[in-house]
Amino acid sequence: MTEKEKCAAGLLYDANYDKELIRERIACKDLCQEYNELKNSDAENRSRLIRRIIGSTKENICIEPVFWCDYGYNIEVGEDFYANHNLVILDCAKVSFGDHVFIGPNCSFYTAGHPLDVKQRNEGLEYAHPITVGNNVWLGGNVVVLPGVRIGDNSVIGAGSVVTKDIPENVVAVGNPCKVVKNISEEK
């Protein structure tokens, strides 16, 4: 089993020394750097390049620079996706965003984690678990989403939150660790 296959299976894998994974990360980061250096007025090339970086997108997508990810091919973005400046997606595992997702500035999505065992950690081993963000989700600025988290449709994550566990649909959740503080009702 290759290191990439171990990663996909959610097993410990060698992220730091595996030549294939290193090569893929370097290629993706070169594309991210090129994207980040484009003029904002160069919409055509920005659109073309972000579609080369991200594995799957729908029609309307806007990611403000600066944007970094590890591989790109593990990211799926729905329709009407907007991410403000300084988005970081460590996409060792799949990161899926539904339709109408809005992400504030300085947000991070981390699928990678490291073992508590110091010997394994020093050997460069890590694991990766997917992140799923539903439809119509709004994440305020400086939100961090950790490995394996699912955020339900129509939910709002307050600025500065650290999302360590699943968040259900139709709620407002805030804090470190992020917790549900209220249900969102249809009534106005």
Got the DSSP string for the chain? --HHHHHHTT--EE-SS-HHHHHHHHHHHHHHHHHHHS-TT-HHHHHHHHHHHSSB--S-EEEPSPEEES-STTEEE-SSEEE-SSEEEE-SS-EEE-SS-EE-TT-EEE-EE--SSHHHHHTTEEEE--EEE-TT-EE-TT-EE-TT-EE-TT-EE-TT-EE-S-B-SSEEEETTTTEEEEEPPS--
- Active-site annotation holds for 114: yes
Say if residues 128 and 7 touch (Cβ distance below 8 Å).
yes
d(C-alpha 84, C-alpha 103), whole Å: 6
CA distance 81 to 56: 12
Q: Which two tokens stand for residue 20?
A: 């294939």
Q: Which residue in 85, 100, 114, 129 is the catalytic one?
A: 114
Catalytic residues: 114
